[in-house]
Every structure is written in C-alpha cells, then in structure tokens.
Amino acid sequence: MKISTCPFCQIDDTQKVVVNKEGRIWVSHVECPACGAQGPVHYDAQSVDSAKDEAIFLWNDRPSEKLQYPRSPPNW
Ligand SMILES: [Zn+2]
C-alpha cells in the first residue's frame, strides 16, 4: 500500500511506517521525518503486515476531523 504525501509539509517519499511490538500486540503509525507529523496509532493483534497496512490506511485517510492528532501534536 502506498503512503500518501504528507498533508502538512507536502514533501513526498519521506514518510515511513513505524511498528513496535508490545506484548502480543503490534503498535504502528506512519510518521514524516521531514516535519515530524505522526499519523494515528493503530493496535493490531494479527501480524506486522496487517499493522503496517492499517497504519497507512489511517494516515492516508487524513486530513479528516476524527483522525487529526488523537494524542499529542508533533514537535515542529
Ligand atoms: Zn511532513
């Protein structure tokens, strides 16, 4: 799945998926190293591939009201 261009800095091809394993759960999100923006965090119990796809899906769905920074804003 392709990661959409960052909606904040508009710089393409710098976005990456970050996946960590916490216990039996994969915790994933997309981040943009260029501006520090982070996509919504996804928790996945299936597999690392599933976790990556869901994180990208959430990122690509932005910008939308419900998906903007559910936690803390990025460090600009
Ligand atoms: Zn960015």
pLDDT digits (tens, 9 = 90+) for 21-73: 999 999 999 999 999 999 999 999 999 999 999 999 999 986 555 445 445 55
Residue 70 within a domain: no
What are the counts of helices (DSSP H) followed by strands (DSSP E) for the chain? 1, 3
Structural domain for 36, as ranges: 16-64
Residue 71 within a domain: no
CA of 37 to the centre of ligand 1 (A): 6
CA of 5 to the centre of ligand 1 (A): 8
Confidence of residue 18 (pLDDT cuts 50, 70, 90): very high
pTM of the model: 0.77
CA of 66 to the centre of ligand 1 (A): 19
Residue 53 within a domain: yes
Q: What is the pLDDT of residue 67?
A: 46
Collapsed DSSP state (helix, strand, coil) of residue 54:
helix
Residue 9 within a domain: no
Domain count, the chain: 1
Residue 34 within a domain: yes
Residue 40 within a domain: yes
